[in-house]
Every structure is written in structure tokens, then in C-alpha cells.
């Protein structure tokens, strides 16, 4: 089942069960997907859906960090609940060992050797890990692998 279809189906279930967080998040995701579909002018593939969901997840993660810095644990917890809903539609996260193996493969592919080559490595790597690893974490690991 396509990701967008699963979201629509789960939205109906959330409405029937009265799951307010689920309804809110799934409506937002449905809207984001529709906007992207209109922007691109065609039905979204699962990879395009994952990109939209990854953006939504990144926004929530940044909000959690901001709320925690401000001492607003109640708002951070609400964002965490939304993150849990979004994660259900994304591929499983990569563990560090798998991620490091992919980084080494990308470094070898573009023959990177210095921290100046981070951009080239990230260009190869990000499409492969989108939705499965945080971009900041990937960047840090690439930087360490290249000695930066």
C-alpha cells in the first residue's frame, strides 16, 4: 500500500476512534502531501512521500529541541507524540554500523579524502538515507570519517 493511501486510511481510523493527536498529525501530513502533489503536478511516489514526511519529522525534532531548551516539557512531549505518528510511515532508522558502512561506500565512490569533499559525499549519501537517518548526524559522521 502506498504511503499516502495508508495515511488516508489511518486518518479515517483515527477519526472513528477519537484519536485527537493522530487526527491532527495525519490531517497535516495529508495536506502536506497534497501541496507537494500540486507543486509537482503528478501523483507522488513513495520516495517523494518519504521526503515530505522527513521534512515534517525534522520540523518536529527541531521544535522538541527548542521547547526543551526553553523548559517547556509539556510542549516537547506533545511534539514527541506527533513524531511517533510520523515515524510509523517512514522506513526503519539505520543503525550506526549500517550508516557508517554507507558513508564509507559513498566516500570510496566519489574518492573523497578531505573535509572539503563533504558536499560530494553528502550528495551521494542523502538520497540513500533520506527518512532513515537524521541529516545532521550523517553530516557529523561524514565529517569525522574525512578527518574534519
Per-chain mean pLDDT for the chain = 88
**Between the CA atoms of 59, 61, 67 and 73, what dihedral angle is there, to the nearest 10 degrees?**
130
pLDDT of residue 122: 86
More confident residue, 133 or 78: 78
Q: Are 27 and 15 in contact (CB under 8 A)?
A: no
Percent of the chain at pLDDT above 90? 45
pLDDT of residue 119: 84
More confident residue, 97 or 33: 33
pLDDT of residue 148: 64
Residue 145 pLDDT greater than 90, yes or no: no
Nearest residue to 128 (alpha-carbon basis) of 102, 98, 147 = 102
How far is it, in rounded angstroms, from Cα 103 to Cα 123? Answer: 11
**Integer distance in angstroms from the first to the last C-alpha of the chain?**
42
Phi, psi of 45 (to 5 degrees): -80, 170
Task: Indicate the pLDDT class of residue 69, thresholds 50, 70 and 90.
Answer: very high
Q: What pLDDT, in 10s, does the model give residues 73-112?
A: 999 999 999 999 999 998 888 888 888 888 888 888 888 7
pTM score? 0.76
Q: Are 56 and 115 in contact (CB under 8 A)?
A: no
3-state helix, strand, coil in the chain (%, to 5): 80, 0, 20
How far is it, in rounded angstroms, from Cα 134 to Cα 148? Answer: 19
Amino acid at each position: 500500500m502506498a504511503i499516502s493511501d495508508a495515511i488516508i486510511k489511518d486518518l479515517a481510523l483515527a477519526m472513528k476512534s477519537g484519536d485527537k493527536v493522530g487526527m491532527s498529525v495525519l490531517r497535516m501530513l495529508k495536506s502536506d502531501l497534497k501541496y507537494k502533489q500540486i507543486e509537482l503536478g503528478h501523483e507522488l511516489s513513495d520516495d517523494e512521500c518519504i521526503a515530505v514526511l522527513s521534512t515534517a519529522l525534522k520540523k518536529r525534532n527541531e521544535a522538541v529541541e527548542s521547547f526543551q531548551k526553553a523548559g517547556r516539557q509539556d510542549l516537547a512531549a506533545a511534539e514527541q507524540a506527533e513524531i511517533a505518528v510520523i515515524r510509523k510511515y517512514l522506513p526503519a532508522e539505520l543503525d550506526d554500523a549500517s550508516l557508517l558502512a554507507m558513508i564509507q561506500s559513498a566516500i570510496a565512490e566519489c574518492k573523497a579524502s578531505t573535509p572539503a569533499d563533504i558536499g560530494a559525499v553528502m550528495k551521494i549519501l542523502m538520497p540513500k538515507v533520506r527518512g532513515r537517518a537524521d541529516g545532521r548526524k550523517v553530516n557529523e559522521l561524514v565529517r569525522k570519517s574525512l578527518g574534519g
